[in-house]
Amino acid sequence: MRQNRALEMHSPHRYSDAEIAAVYRTIAERRDMRHFLSTPVNSETLTRILQAAHHAPSVGLMQPWRFIRITDTATRAAMHQLVDEERAQTAKAIGEYENTARMAEFLRLKVEGILDCGELLVASLCSHREHQVFGRRTLPEMDIASVSCAIQNMWLAARAEGLGMGWVSIFDPIKLSTLLNIPSGAKPIAIICLGHVNTFYKAPMLVEAGWKEPKSLAEMVMENTWSTDKTG
């Protein structure tokens, strides 16, 4: 193990210690933000963040991501209404699946920053994805995984730029598609709130709000076969 570590330390492909620390810090400090300032995002910064998304890996190099930038205030308000409608339906489902106390806890959570953030975008799967067979014959959901990689790249780039970002998935994709004229076969998977923040959460917001505690890495890692003592 020590020999392997020595080889890693002297690899010509290794970044400097400071650069490595910055990468891991960005990953650790990334937060799903819900509280924003209305200060506009610099256009060049937005372009860099979207370019980071476009550098993401994708199955069969299909690059299934499409981004819609929302600049119309009426459209932003309509999107907020759609999220609010689904928020009520989600609360109802939580009440039925768990209990009314849990439903009330959910309703106290802030689940989006659509009306506050400096930039609002929608990330969507493209249409005609059925033509992409490479890597998707047995796992067609790899198109969503690819777009998720792009969104994660955006998240990390935004955090490095000092901007907050939130992924909102509480909406009806059919209604959002109708609102934004998204073609048949394409599917929106994320409303992305991006912008300046007063402060970043010290821990994930759902942890700070007491909604849920994160599991440890040890609970997630197995070797050679599925461990029966692992949950999920």
**Residue 5 banded pLDDT, cuts 50, 70, 90:** confident
pTM of this structure: 0.94
Structure confidence by residue, pLDDT tens digits, 70-90:
999 999 999 999 999 999 999
- Domain regions of the chain by residue span: 31-80+111-208
Identity of residue 103: M
Q: Which fold, 31-80+111-208?
A: NADH Oxidase (3.40.109)
DSSP codes of every residue in 37-64? --PPPPHHHHHHHHHHHHTS--GGG---
CA gap 120, 195 in Å, rounded: 9
Question: Residue 1 has what pLDDT?
Answer: 59
Q: List the beta strands (DSSP E) in 58-186.
A: 65-70, 119-125, 164-168
46 — phi, psi (to 5°)?
Answer: -60, -40
Structure confidence by residue, pLDDT tens digits, 106-162:
999 999 999 999 999 999 999 999 999 999 999 999 999 999 999 999 999 999 999
Place of tokens 């910055």: 22
